[in-house]
């Protein structure tokens, strides 16, 4: 273990708290309440919502009274959710998968820090859930491996459902590349959700109103932008074209706020919820619905990326960065290179210039970068006469190329 990677545990009223940290981010996991991740902080700024009402409470282990504590955080459930058949999960509340104790192990070395969490067997669904959470030095990236195992003696059919509650106390805008959306819950139309067909993008502006949406995401990323604090949480995940998903979409969005919604015949008034009505948005990522024979597994790999950023929107996300303003060249007496990005790795950026044959003909060094600082370009550069395109390249701390952040056509 080095100073760049650390693991530790602390005692808390809700049980042991497991911390994973590197030079940029800190994760805090509470295994006793459904294996939840209760903190994801970049430079001390936590992006995950936690319900302060239960901060000093004790877990409701094995409670079957029908009470549900929305502790906040990020957790994993089975989907589809519902109350009309045995093929639907009627939680939360749920005393095993949602709020029951998860077994845990954690470890670290020079290359990574990791925690593994596993639920008990849930007889209703017939499954056991596990998630492995891992970070490495030099990056504000969290890799999550979910596993659902059929631990019953019957066939079961479920989707893995990752639910992350993102803090919206400072305002929040959620962006994704998607073909469209539909509102699935909420007794009033939510005006803060829009689809830009020309850009193939969906944008949710947080408003203090309860609603839920199914989003037809097609590029495997969703980005939650807290512009007031200058921070973005980007989640990436696989999409299986043609697969069956709960509600017909790989992503769902829930906005917590005032108002009512109707579910399994009951109208719920959020102003009367004992969990409160605090501002947050749930980003819900699902795997395909999969039939599992006894002993079989299904898996879902997701990644959290977190970075400081300067911008009012997220146009795109890749493995290197979130893009707030596209790379552009303004012509004049000099060529001015502009753009705004949040990078997920420490290192350096360079502008690599190519000719018509896609041969590199110039490399312009643009300086060191970090997930803790927005990357805002406004720089005069000199270009060769035969330059036709350029790419913004991210180089890691070992001078290895991590990939392209963005590119621009020159002529």
pLDDT computed for residue 332 by the predictor? 57
Going along the chain from its start, the domains and CATH numbers come out as 6-308 (2.70.98.10), 321-409 (2.60.40.3020)
395 three-class SS: strand
Of the candidates 227, 222, 224, 202, the residue with the CA atom closest to the CA atom of residue 312: 227
220: which DSSP letter? E
Q: How many CA atoms lie within 13 A of 75 on its CB side?
A: 27
Q: Whole-angstrom Cα distance, residue 318 to residue 233?
A: 12
Q: Whole-angstrom Cα distance, residue 387 to residue 399?
A: 24
pLDDT computed for residue 67 by the predictor? 76
The strand pairing partners of 335, in sequence order, are 381
Q: Whole-angstrom Cα distance, residue 395 to residue 352?
A: 12
Spell out the residues 6+ positions from residue 144 whose beta carbon is closer than 8 angstroms to its own: 131, 132, 133, 134, 162, 301, 302, 303, 304
pLDDT computed for residue 333 by the predictor? 55
Q: Whole-angstrom Cα distance, residue 231 to residue 24?
A: 13
Q: Whole-angstrom Cα distance, residue 385 to residue 161?
A: 52
Strand 113-118 with 103-108, pairing? antiparallel
Spell out the residues 6+ positions from residue 122 whose beta carbon is closer than 8 angstroms to its own: 94, 96, 97, 128, 129
Q: What torsion, rounded to 10 degrees, do the Cα atoms 332, 333, 337, 339 define?
A: -50
pTM here is 0.95
Spell out the residues 6+ positions from residue 83 whose beta carbon is closer than 8 angstroms to its own: 90, 263, 264
Mean pLDDT of each 10-residue bin along the chain, 411 residues long: 79 95 97 97 97 85 69 97 92 92 95 97 98 97 98 98 98 97 97 94 97 97 98 98 96 97 90 93 98 98 98 97 96 83 98 96 97 97 93 95 96 83
Q: Under a CB-based contact definition with an 8 Å cutoff, are residues 21 and 10 in contact?
A: no
pLDDT computed for residue 217 by the predictor? 97
Q: Whole-angstrom Cα distance, residue 194 to residue 172?
A: 14
């Amino acid at each position: 273990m080095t100073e760049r990677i650390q693991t530790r545990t602390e005692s808390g009223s809700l049980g042991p708290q497991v911390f994973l940290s590197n030079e940029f981010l800190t994760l805090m996991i509470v295994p006793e309440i459904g294996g939840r991740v209760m903190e994801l902080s970049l430079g001390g700024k936590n992006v995950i919502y936690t319900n302060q009402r239960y901060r000093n409470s004790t877990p409701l282990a094995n409670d079957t009274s029908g009470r549900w504590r929305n502790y906040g955080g990020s957790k994993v459930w089975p989907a589809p959710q519902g109350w009309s058949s045995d093929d639907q999960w009627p939680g939360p509340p749920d005393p095993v998968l949602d709020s029951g104790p998860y077994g845990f192990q954690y470890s670290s070395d020079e290359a990574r820090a990791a925690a593994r969490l596993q639920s008990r067997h849930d007889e209703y669904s017939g499954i056991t859930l596990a998630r492995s959470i891992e970070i490495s030095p030099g990056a504000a990236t969290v890799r999550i491996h979910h596993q659902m195992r059929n631990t019953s003696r019957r066939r079961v059919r479920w989707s893995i459902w990752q639910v992350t509650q993102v803090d919206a106390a400072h305002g929040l805008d959620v962006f994704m590349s998607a073909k469209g959306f539909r509102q699935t819950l909420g007794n009033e139309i939510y005006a803060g959700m829009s689809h830009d067909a020309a850009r193939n993008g969906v944008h949710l502006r947080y408003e203090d109103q309860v609603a839920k949406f199914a989003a037809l995401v097609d590029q495997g990323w969703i980005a939650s932008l807290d512009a007031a604090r200058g921070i973005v949480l980007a989640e990436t995940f696989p999409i299986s074209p043609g697969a069956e998903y709960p509600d017909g979409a790989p992503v769902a969005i829930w906005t917590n706020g005032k108002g009512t919604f109707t579910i399994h015949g009951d109208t719920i008034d959020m102003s009367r919820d004992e969990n409160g009505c605090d501002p947050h948005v749930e980003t819900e990522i699902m795997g395909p619905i999969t039939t599992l024979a006894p002993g079989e597994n299904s898996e879902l790999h997701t990644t959290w990326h977190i970075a400081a950023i300067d911008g009012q929107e997220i146009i795109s996300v890749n493995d290197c960065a979130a893009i707030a303003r596209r790379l552009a060249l303004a012509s004049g007496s000099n060529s001015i290179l502009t753009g705004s990005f949040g990078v997920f790795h420490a290192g350096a950026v360079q502008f690599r210039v190519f000719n018509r044959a896609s041969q590199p003909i110039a490399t312009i060094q643009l300086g060191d970068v970090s997930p803790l600082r927005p990357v805002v370009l406004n720089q005069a550069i000199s270009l060769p006469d035969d330059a036709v395109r350029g790419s913004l390249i991210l180089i890691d701390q070992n001078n290895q190329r991590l990939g392209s952040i963005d590119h621009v056509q020159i002529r």
